[in-house]
Structure 1
Amino acid sequence: MNKRKVALITGGTRGIGKVIALRLAEQGCDLVITYLRNRTAARETAAELEAKGVRVHLSKGNIADKDNSKKMFEEIDQEFGRLDYFVSNAASGVLRPLMEIEESHWDWTMNINSRAYLFCAQQAAKLMEKTGGGKIVGLSSLGSQFVIPNYTTVGVSKAALESLTRYLAIELAPMNISVNAVSGGAVDTDALKHFPNREEIIKDAAVRTPAGRMVEPEDLANAVMFLLSDQASMIRGQTLVVDGGISVLL
């Protein structure tokens, strides 16, 4: 069995997920990274991570597909024989006003952002139990608690993620698995480019955030790394908000 710790990061080839993957690689952690479409970017990220001396396994496919995710966890077991960390970072969503949301928009967003979190956590827990436990962290956003224009499907799916985090934390605790979430304010990543009012969001966040600047991917990675550390072992079922204080004003 592989003696080095192994981490699964969904959507880990770019943005926040990639920063988290780089941090874990720097700690000598072998990695499993999922991606949906961009094979070139995935390979480039894998090479960047492998340059730090760790093994990287790429897994392509939609994590909301139960058969695909089950196959992925079977590959993790075969490749590494263990799983210590699961970071549920992959997210998607249809950004439209509430009255324009269709059933397909709802299903797509909920399936990737919350349903996949549940079924991946189930599979992750089975692997973690083999080596005495592990840690799970889900990535959320302020839209789970506050109304953001065009954000209905994503906001509701993230609220479900935070609620699910609490249930997972309690039910997986006897397996020595801690579960928490990190909720971020507006972060200027590729995902923000899909917002029709992106420039307004960036300008507003920069001006209104008490800390004096927007949240950056590194800020969220810092919080995730803390929750994955032994120092956070008594933090369970919590959502750690990293927003520079802006939600206090909302």
Structure 2
Amino acid sequence: MSNQVALVTGSSRGVGRAIALALAEKGYDIVINYARSKTKALEVASEVEALGRKALVVKANVGDVEKIKAMFIQIEETFGRLDVFVNNAASGVLRPAMELEESHWDWTMNINSKALLFCAQEAAKLMEKVGGGKIVSISSLGSIRYLDNYTTVGVSKAALEALTRYLAVELAPKNIVVNAISGGAIDTDALTHFPNREELLADAREKTPAGRMVEIEDIVKAVLFLVSDDAFMIRGQTIIVDGGRSLLV
């Protein structure tokens, strides 16, 4: 039988890259998805291959359903299966609600919310072939709390978490386990786009009960748990990994 296969969207850098490499270390062949950073995606592929695993690099804007379908055709042609889908790719326009335009809303919702639905539809077809699978999405605390300039992303992540619950129930008969992870502020490239980046980092450093900020590895460990058989009875949940920051009002 072929090695198990994992798709991680937005895996050319940051959290997605770390998840992809961790899954490769666990023995998965990896589908690396990117939208712009081809050079970085190829670097991740080299790292995956250095671990003795196969890597498929696919350029696809996951906000476009036709691009999603084309990506899954490549996955099926290359591997003939899919065991894990990590819905990590994200984007968004960071502006106050009163300054948002329709294009900002559509762009963010398509990549952060619509992508999960239509990727899950395609992933489920391949997972059925091997008797089941695991789907994990990456959310954020803006889904349940107000963050400055975060309207489009926060609302899109709230939709993602709701969709996680619906998919968990509807895909359960196919032996597909669906969950999400909501992380606290992490000092990655993505955070550089926030106008209040330094304020967010200072808050995380000073007010996280665990005594330190959330790190990429914390999210990776949570993903590895949710795609393991140990998490079989966890369904449709959004696991908050924030060191307790959201507990403080």
Normalising by structure 2, we get a TM-score of 0.99
Structure 1: which amino acid aligns with 2:185? A
Which residue in the other structure is 2:18 paired with? 19
Structure 1: which amino acid aligns with 2:206? V
* Deviation sequence 1:79-114 (CA, Å, 0-9, x none): 001000000000000000111000000000000000
Which residue in the other structure is 2:170 paired with? 171
Count of aligned residue pairs for this structure pair: 249
Q: Considering only aligned residues, what root-mean-square deviation do their CA atoms show, in Å? A: 0.7
Taking the aligned partners of 2:2 and 2:36, their CA distance within structure 1 comes to 31
Shift of 1:61: 2.1
Shift of 1:67: 0.9
SS in 2 for 1:57: strand
* Deviation sequence 1:144-200 (CA, Å, 0-9, x none): 000000000000000000000000000000000000000001011111000011111
Residue correspondence of structure 1 range 58-77 to structure 2 within 5 A: 58-77=57-76
Structure 2: which amino acid aligns with 1:232? A
SS in 2 for 1:204: helix
CA contact (8 A) 2:60 2:71 kept: no
SS in 2 for 1:7: strand
Shift of 1:45: 1.1
Taking the aligned partners of 2:232 and 2:80, their CA distance within structure 1 comes to 23
Taking the aligned partners of 2:23 and 2:44, their CA distance within structure 1 comes to 13
Which residue in the other structure is 2:186 paired with? 187
Shift of 1:38: 1.3
Provide structure 1 residue ranges, at least 5 long, that are not aligned to the other structure. none
Taking the aligned partners of 1:139 and 1:38, their CA distance within structure 2 comes to 20
Normalising by structure 1, we get a TM-score of 0.98
Shift of 1:126: 0.6
Taking the aligned partners of 1:61 and 1:7, their CA distance within structure 2 comes to 16
Q: 1:96 and 2:81 equivalent?
A: no
Which residue in the other structure is 1:137 paired with? 136
Shift of 1:49: 1.3
SS in 1 for 2:213: coil
Q: 1:155 and 2:157 equivalent?
A: no
Which residue in the other structure is 1:44 paired with? 43
Which residue in the other structure is 1:121 paired with? 120
What is the percent sequence identity of the aligned residues?
66
Provide structure 2 residue ranges, at least 5 long, that are not aligned to the other structure. none
CA contact (8 A) 2:7 2:30 kept: yes
Shift of 1:64: 1.2
Structure 2: which amino acid aligns with 1:10? T
Q: Which of structure 1's runs of 4+ aligned residues deviate more than 6 A? A: none
Structure 2: which amino acid aligns with 1:157? S
* Deviation sequence 1:1-54 (CA, Å, 0-9, x none): x52100000001111111111111111110001101111111111111110000
Shift of 1:214: 0.8
Structure 2: which amino acid aligns with 1:135? K
Taking the aligned partners of 1:61 and 1:27, their CA distance within structure 2 comes to 25
Which residue in the other structure is 2:237 paired with? 238
